[in-house]
Amino acid sequence: MTGNANEYRRPVKPRSPYLQIFSLPGSAAFCAAAAVARMPMAMVSLGIVLALNHLYKDWATGGFMTALYVLCAAVVTPVYARLFDRFGQRSIGLLLTALQTAGFILFAAAAQNRVHLALLFVLAAYLGLTSFSIGALVRTRWAWATAQQNGSSLLDTAYSLESAVDETVFIIGPILVAFLASGGTPTLPFYVCAAAEGIGGLVFFLLPSAAFHAVDTLALSGVPEGGNISPAPSVSPAVQDEAGRADYDSSSTVTSSGLADRHPKRLAFMYPGMLLLCCAFISFNSTFSAFDVAMTALMKSMGQERLLGLQLALFAAGSCAGAILFGSRQHHGNPWRRLVILMAYLTLGFVGIALFSRNIAVIGIIEVIAGLSVAPIFASGNLMVKGIVPASSLTEGLSWLSTASTVGAALGSAVCGRILDSFGPVAGLSSLWILTAVSLIFLAAGYMRYARRT
């Protein structure tokens, strides 16, 4: 009787991938702390512009100051990432968190007292020069956490979750800045940034998981049941397969003193495939700032400015939904091919938005549908970095992709602004699919150069 009962017992339903990643030790804590610490990245640029407009009655200077901040951040982010890979997250992270938190307070106090603009430019540059990519750090932490549990298949889910967090931050951040700045204290957003950076960063870097040298763990082959870590062969930069993933050189071994390739001298973006991927992400990310500017111009020209927030939120909501769907599944096949398909899908969506630009209801629907591909593109790109660069350069590699995104965002608003001045909002919306088509060309080149030979 017992045997028959066992024979007809229903199979156990596998747990959701999201439940599995949050069952990893410490994962919920570092994910939540990183989400809070990421709030400033969605608030600073708009905060500078609004503060300068309210206090100095100057839009143009705010734009130049924002550009300076973005440029400085883009220059130093890969440098800090290399330091994180070399020395670990805790010591470097606590120092930078303290410096940037102080910078937010100083900038707010200086602007509130209407100091000379030259000093504000210096403080804006300081904010940029103390910026680092918390998104790259938390993704490295996820790679470390899944490697500890032999759960590399869960990394798709973890990276999709982080893409959804990014989208949520960029929905909430600008709305919060506009609300706080319009309440009579235009510098208040910077105090909120200081609190988010200080509290979120402090928790993130003081968690037990920050004490481990994540890239060392990722470069090891695994931990046997006895608990002793057995060294794996190091990654030799000279041994690269055609897809750009580092192969193990069987002639190179690791001594007990550490990894032979623990701190490679080669810059992460020099590994095969990284340059094309970064170029693709510059063009891809330029569409988001261009979308914001073009949609603002379109709503203003149609007298529907009250619907602007809704239009921007619909696109981000589609991306969040795409992140959840993408992360709930396991993905196989070549990531270059996946990126080409997703980018082609997004390009078609932007074509539809340009064609129906005078119908608000239709473009709202298209925004949600097209947005489904955005977070999966980000997640796939980050996963590709993990496959291209050696484990000892993972944070640096992810930061190069983050820097490409930052540069793209700065270029997108500038390019779209010129198009809007010359040809109007419909042409501005048409620039979106042109930019993603350029990104598609880079990805197709990467697919033909690296993926098809694997």
Q: What is the pLDDT of residues 60-72, one digit of tens each?
A: 677 788 888 988 9
Residue 278, amino acid: C
Q: Which residue has the tokens 């500038």?
A: 414
245 three-state secondary structure: coil
Under-50 pLDDT residues of the chain: 1, 220-263, 454
Which of 161, 189, 219 represents a domain boundary (last residue)?
219
Q: Is residue 309 part of a domain?
A: yes
311 and 372: one domain? Answer: yes
Q: What is the pLDDT of residue 378?
A: 87
Helix, strand and coil in the chain, % to nearest 5? 75, 0, 20
| Domain end call among 187, 219, 251 | 219
Task: Give the model's pLDDT for residue 264.
Answer: 53
Whether 356 maps to a domain, the answer reads yes
Quote the domain boundaries for residue 361: 267-453
Q: Are residues 312 and 426 in the same domain?
A: yes
Residue 10 lies in a domain: no
Residue 100 lies in a domain: yes
**Same domain flag for 271 and 417:** yes
The three-state (H, E, C) secondary structure of the chain, written as one string: CHHHHHHCCCCCCCCCHHHHHHCCCCHHHHHHHHHHHCHHHHCHHHHHHHHHHHHHCCHHHHHHHHHHHHHHHHHHHHHHHHHHHHHCHHHHHHHHHHHHHHHHHHHHHHHHCCCCHHHHHHHHHHHHHCCCCHHHHHHHHHHHHHHHCCCHHHHHHHHHHHHHHHHHHHHHHHHHHHHHHCCCCCCHHHHHHHHHHHHHHHHHHHCHHHHCCHHHHHHCCCCCCCCCCCCCCCEEEEEECCCCCEEECCCCCCECCECCCCCCCCCHHHCCCHHHHHHHHHHHHHHHHHHHHHHHHHHHHCCCHHHHHHHHHHHHHHHHHHHHHHHCCCCCCCHHHHHHHHHHHHHHHHHHHHHCCCCHHHHHHHHHHHHCCHHHHHHHHHHHHHHHCCHHHHHHHHHHHHHHHHHHHHHHHHHHHHHHHHHCHHHHHHHHHHHHHHHHHHHHHHHHHCHHHC
**How many domains is the chain built from?**
2
Q: Say whether both 304 and 199 belong to one domain.
A: no
CATH number of the structural domain spanning residue 75: 1.20.1250.20
pLDDT at 14: 63
Residues 190 and 316 in one domain: no
The answer as to whether 226 is a domain residue is no
Domain-located, residue 434: yes
* Domain termination site, one of 196, 219, 242: 219
Per-residue pLDDT reduced to its tens digit, 252-276:
333 333 333 444 556 776 788 889 9
Q: Say yes or no: 326 and 200 in one domain.
A: no
215 and 273 assigned to the same domain:
no
Same domain, 413 and 277: yes
The pLDDT assigned to 13 comes to: 61
pLDDT tens digit sequence for 394-408: 778 888 888 888 788
Q: Do 296 and 208 have their domain in common?
A: no
- What pLDDT sits at residue 149? 66
Residue 262 inside a domain? The answer is no
Q: Same structural domain for residues 313 and 447? A: yes
Are 198 and 316 contained in the same domain? Answer: no
Same domain, 67 and 201: yes
In a domain, 272, yes or no: yes
Instruction: Give the DSSP letter of residue 255.
Output: B
